[in-house]
Amino acid sequence: MDVGDEGSVASAVKDVLTHCSELDALVCNAGIGIFGSVEETSIADAKAQLDTNFFGVLRTLRAVIPHMRTRARGRIVLVGSLAGREPIPFQAHYSASKAAVASVALALRSELHGSGVQVSLIEPGDINTPFNDATDFGSSRNSAYADRIRSCQRVIEEALPQAPGPEVVAAAIHKALSARRARVRYTVGPDSWLVPLGQRFLPDALMLRLVRGHFRI
């Protein structure tokens, strides 16, 4: 389906129900990423980011939830990001979209409490997938922030080859779909515990300082 097209989403869900009669699980994983400063990223690009990563999730949820709620059974897994908890410089719009997904996941879990439908949020850290190859850094060459952006790009390019592959995310999704009682959040990746721990014990100013140090800006 094209999550940006409500008709496409409705048609895909209808096809599944026609062939299978039931829909037991929904995993919202579609997403795109843009790279650039808040100041210089166009509103059109920002809207495109939110339209896929956030409104695409809403379109799909609206098409699937009525069926699951009527059956009093189902699992919903939304794939967010640790960037939704600790925003990445020059990926503010991506981070904002994932923070919005996290808010929807938690609110929806409460809304569907007792309905038989369980909702979980997956929060990956760095994951080495083709998604990263599609990130366009070139549009920032003439940016007023060019040096800082190049520093962030180098850090990302150095880290990703050592990052785990998508299998670790798939394993977390499987846990959320198969556990008797699915957890609210599943953080994924070798260092994924650092962000929740830092948020719990460190002030925001120090967390931001650590983020700037990590990206060498």
* 119 contact partners, CB below 8 Å, separation of at least 6: 75, 76, 77, 78, 105, 108, 109, 112, 182
Of these residues, 35, 54, 94, 186, which one is catalytic? 94
Tokens of 110: 């409460």
Taking a C-beta distance cutoff of 8 angstroms, is the pair 176, 150 a contact? no
Active site residue 94: yes
Rounded Cα distance between 139 and 155, Å, is 18
Taking a C-beta distance cutoff of 8 angstroms, is the pair 85, 102 a contact? yes
- Would you tell me how many other CB atoms lie within 10 Å of the CB of residue 189? 19
* Torsions phi, psi for 127 (to 5 deg): -130, 130
Q: Which of 214, 48, 32, 184 is nearest to 121 (CA)?
A: 184
Taking a C-beta distance cutoff of 8 angstroms, is the pair 31, 60 a contact? no
Q: Which of 65, 93, 92 is nearest to 78 (CA)?
A: 65
Residue positions annotated with a catalytic role: 94
